[in-house]
Amino acid sequence: QAGEAVPPAQRSSWASFLKSIASVSGDLSSMTCPPFILSPVSLTEFPAYWCEHPELFSAIADQTTEEQRTLAVVKWFISTLKGQYTSRNESMGSEKKPLNPVLGELFYGKWPDLNGRGETQLLVEQVSHHPPITAYAIENKSKGVKLIGHNAQKTSFSGGSIIVKQIGHATLTVQLPSGGVAEYLITLPRLRIDGLWYGAPYIELSESSWIISKHYVCSVEYKGKGYFSGKTHSFKATLNPAPGLGGSLGSHVIEGTWHTTSKFTSGPKSGLEFHNVTGPKEEVTAIGGQTSGEMGDFETRQLWKLVAKGIREGDFDMASREKSKIENDQRQRRKDELAAGTKWPLKHFVHVDSDPTYEQLGKLGKISPSTEDMYVFKENWPPA
């Protein structure tokens, strides 16, 4: 039944929200939603999902051949999808609308060194507000593995679902014992948000994404219920040596469901398990980014503290009052900058119009668009 999962008092505002998304497409982030669908977590915290399995991230550095390293990158990538796309359903009952970060919002975190895997650090900065763009750097310095990326979303409405095209990409680099660096270009899947009619949104992934290095081209195709395996959250990863590199590099096909397990279905390891995320995950520890170790006013959990408290405790008047204070402060800052002819300075990233790694590796997978902008990490954190 329509609105079944919506608290009765919020059904009419949910219906108006659905009507408005059908007509306003592009950016959902600033739309007003009924309280039941609000999440107390800002989008700047989402890049932490890339490292819910820090041991898989660090294991990339422990591989000795290109083939093993590529398989380790694909295994880490597939293992991040459960957190990225289903964790709000698990923790909050359905997909929710995250807090819309302000320009310059920051989030710092880490995963500790356990069992010799080394510490992994996370840094996130909101580098644009309109449209919302989030840049991140995740690094395990002792292992020499680093992920730099940014993401934005373009939304549209089709057949009762919200379609989210992810814009942006990530590059994973690994320092090799030989002194060289292996680079992997990672592109992002398309999302379909279903279940809106009932007020219980959830995500299914569609189309494909790529992981490309100069040795391997891996496409990951996503399908939901009723396609290749008939199961929700299905994927099929096909790894082939880059053009001209056949020889000693093997091809592999891996199939399964990204929120549970998968196995090799073709190639030398056929029949063996590939990934398994049915066990526990490891949440990031948020840390203060200031030299004193404290959180500054622009750090996510400090900035949104009272709004998040209001949402968690059901005090939506407080949440909305505190949110308006943040928004008014932002409006004033933009006005002042305009009057002074200045621009908000990014703290950790520099925007550039094109990314040579994306262009060169992207050609191997024939990905589109053929060029994308990027946010170069200034490598200025943590302070020495």
**Near ligand HCR by CB under 6 A: residue from 10, 20, 63, 166:** 166
Q: Which is nearer to ligand HCR, 127 or 203 (CB)?
A: 203
Q: Which is nearer to ligand HCR, 202 or 264 (CB)?
A: 202
Binding of residue 97 to ligand HCR (CB under 6 A): yes
Binding of residue 164 to ligand HCR (CB under 6 A): yes
Binding of residue 151 to ligand HCR (CB under 6 A): yes
Q: Which is nearer to ligand HCR, 50 or 264 (CB)?
A: 50
Shortest Cβ 144–ligand HCR spacing (Å): 23
Binding of residue 84 to ligand HCR (CB under 6 A): yes
Return the HEC string of the chain: CCCCCCCHHHHHHHHHHHHHHHHCCECCCCCCCCHHHEEEEEHHHHHHHHHCCHHHHHHHHHCCCHHHHHHHHHHHHHHHHHHHHHHHHHHHCCCCEEECCCCCCEEEEEECCCCCCCCEEEEEEEEECCCCEEEEEEEECCCCEEEEEEEEEEEEEECCEEEEEEECCEEEEEECCCCCEEEEEECCCEEEEECCCCCCCEEEEECEEEEECCCEEEEEEEECCCCCCCCCCEEEEEEEECCCCCCCCCCEEEEEECCCEEEEEECCCCCCEEEECCCCCCCCEEECCCCCCCCCCCEHHHHCHHHHHHHHHCCHHHHHHHHHHHHHHHHHHHHHHHHHCCCCCCCCEEEECCCHHHHHHHHHHCCCCCCCCEEEECCCCCCC
Count interface residues toward ligand HCR (CB under 6 A): 18
Binding of residue 303 to ligand HCR (CB under 6 A): no
**Near ligand HCR by CB under 6 A: residue from 40, 54, 109, 201:** 201
Binding of residue 143 to ligand HCR (CB under 6 A): no
Q: Which is nearer to ligand HCR, 156 or 166 (CB)?
A: 166
Q: Which is nearer to ligand HCR, 203 or 212 (CB)?
A: 203
Binding of residue 28 to ligand HCR (CB under 6 A): yes
Binding of residue 95 to ligand HCR (CB under 6 A): yes
Stretch that binds ligand HCR, among 52-60, 95-103, 205-213, 315-323 (CB under 6 A): 95-103
Stretch that binds ligand HCR, among 89-97, 138-146, 229-237, 257-265 (CB under 6 A): 89-97
Q: Which of residues 202-261 bind ligand HCR (CB under 6 A)?
A: 203
Shortest Cβ 351–ligand HCR spacing (Å): 18
Shortest Cβ 166–ligand HCR spacing (Å): 5
